[in-house]
Amino acid sequence: MKRLTSFIKSLPLTHFIRNERAVSFNVGYTITIAITTVLLIGIISGVGGLLHAEQDKAVNHQVTVTSDNIASGVMATDRVANTDSTTTNITVTQQTPSQTVAPQYFIELRNDSTGPSVHVETSTGQHQNTVPITTETQINETRVTGGGTIYIAHTVNTDTGERELVLHTGEA
């Protein structure tokens, strides 16, 4: 055994076996890389969450603004139509954002138990806003796809003969 030990000590590579600095350097380098990677992943996921939250705020804002604009257009159309009893057809053009953060949205005129309202909802259903409106004219419940020109029409229903408010995206 003494011979073997002296033989191993006589080999020129034995100083690498006893030197722990190289292992220490590699371990430190690996730990540094691992910590840096974990920190970068945390920063990236945090920024991703922040961007998602900001996108939600933007969609909510766009839905709210669009519903408010359409509601004011419907009420204005109703007021104008009811100032002159001889007027039967009035159409008001309302522009809605063609590009929004949400891929698609819908605008509805509703008349439910709470009264008439304008309801705007994204295609996913995650973002929506309802604005109650006051009109003298009956509401014809309609749903149109938002984006571009929306027509708010005050017409006489050919079936019932009653005046009504309706939304559509076709020609005026």
- Contact yes or no for 118/66 (Cβ under 8 A): no
**Which pLDDT does position 130 carry in this prediction?**
92
Note whether residue 53 is domain-resident.
no
Domain total in the chain: 2
**Is there a single domain that holds both residue 38 and residue 92?**
no
Global model pTM greater than 0.75:
no
CA dihedral of 29, 33, 39, 44, whole degrees rounded to 10: 160
Section 77-87 average pLDDT: 80
Residue 73 tokens read as: 């257009």
**Is there a single domain that holds both residue 77 and residue 121?**
yes
Query: Tokens 């009504």 appear where?
Result: 164
What are 33-71's pLDDT values in tens digits? 999 999 999 999 988 888 888 888 888 899 899 999 999
- Contact yes or no for 152/74 (Cβ under 8 A): yes
**Is there a single domain that holds both residue 115 and residue 152?**
yes
Going by C-alpha positions, the residue among 126, 120, 172 that lies closest to residue 147 is 120
- Which residues does 119 contact at the CB level (< 8 Å), separation at least 6? 67, 107, 108, 110, 128, 129, 130, 131
- Contact yes or no for 73/96 (Cβ under 8 A): no
- Contact yes or no for 133/116 (Cβ under 8 A): yes
Structural domain of 157: 64-168
**Is there a single domain that holds both residue 74 and residue 151?**
yes
What are 123-163's pLDDT values in tens digits? 888 888 999 999 888 888 999 988 888 899 888 877 877 88
**Is there a single domain that holds both residue 69 and residue 35?**
no
